[in-house]
A and B are shown apart, each in its own frame.
Chain A
Amino acid sequence: MNFSDFIEVGAIRADLKALDKETVIEELVEALVQSGGIQPQDKMSIVEAVMKREELGSTGIGRGVAVPHTKHANVNRLIGTVGISRNGVEFASLDGEKVFIFFLLVSPPDRPTNHLRALESISRQLRDDTFCRFLKQSKTPEDILLLLEEADDDRKADKKS
């Protein structure tokens, strides 16, 4: 799956302000509201559901990255966004480190395959140290978008060869 299949371009954020877990999740969900990806009236129930999932175990998977996610009945396709925090957020990560890179995912309740494929695309890319470093250093949403597009292009080229 390509990033362009699920990342809402209008919701990408290069300068997240939040310093704690709940606020950063709210900021990311708000970004999806602003891009039109989710309805304003669904915002709080999505934030709550994402927080509930975090209680089961942090999605801070190490390397300064977290993939907070949930299912929600009112989205009809997998949507997500990327946010970068300059100062880092305490996220109870598996490795105890602060999180700088966030991929937030919201999926329809009955489509586990797309969720797995999105996690695959994200984890594959995050194993690349250069990608992580460039992502962390991104100053604008355009920088981030460019990195995601390059990653998509590389994946397509790999498949052809």
Chain B
Amino acid sequence: MWNRVVSREVTVVNPQGLHARPADAFARRASQFESVIDVVKQGQRVNGKSILDLLMLAAEEGTVLTIEARGGDAEDAIEALVSLMEQVNSYDESAKSSPNP
């Protein structure tokens, strides 16, 4: 079980892309698992527990990302992170931060 690898593809549907807040939420959730979590965008592989790494992907709307978990809690991690991606995909700062909506 220890070397179990589970992976799943998710699409970024947030028009703002994977910006700072969703990247932060993802890294925090990923850090709650023991498994090694990688996020891959077209061959570029980064540490899913690091916000700096995730921001380096500059994942725009429509980008397909592969989330890969390796470890004893890989299945749980993937479930949690895929469902988190569905939630963060709706994060939008424009409504709240634009002075002239």
Contact = CB atoms under 8 A, between A and B. Distances in A.
Interface stretch (A18-26, A32-40, A50-58, A134-142): A50-58
A122 B98 CA distance: 23
B17 A113 contact: yes
Interface stretch (A4-12, A66-74, A80-88, A150-158): A66-74
Interface stretch (B2-10, B50-58, B77-85): B50-58
B97 interface: yes
A49 B56 contact: no
Interface string B1-28: 0000000000000011111110011001
Q: Which of B20, B51, B53, B93 has the most CB of A within 10 A?
A: B20
B96 A73 contact: no
A63 B53 CA distance: 13
B56 to A, nearest CB: 5
A113 B15 CA distance: 9
B24 A61 contact: yes
Contact of A123 (B15, B17, B56): B56
A126 B71 CA distance: 28
Given A57-B24, A61-B20, A70 B97 contact: yes
B75 interface: no
A45 B97 contact: no
Interface residues of A, number: 32
Interface string B24-50: 110010000000000000000000000
Interface in A108-161: 109, 112-113, 115-117, 119-120, 122-124, 126-127
Interface residues of B, number: 27
B52 A126 contact: yes
Given A57-B21, A59-B20, A73 B58 contact: no
Nearest to B21: A57
Contacts of B15: 112
Interface in B52-88: 52-53, 55-61
Contact of B56 (A52, A63, A69, A120): A120
Given A112-B15, A112-B17, A119-B20, A71 B98 contact: yes
Contacts of A96: none
A109 B16 CA distance: 10
A67 B20 contact: yes
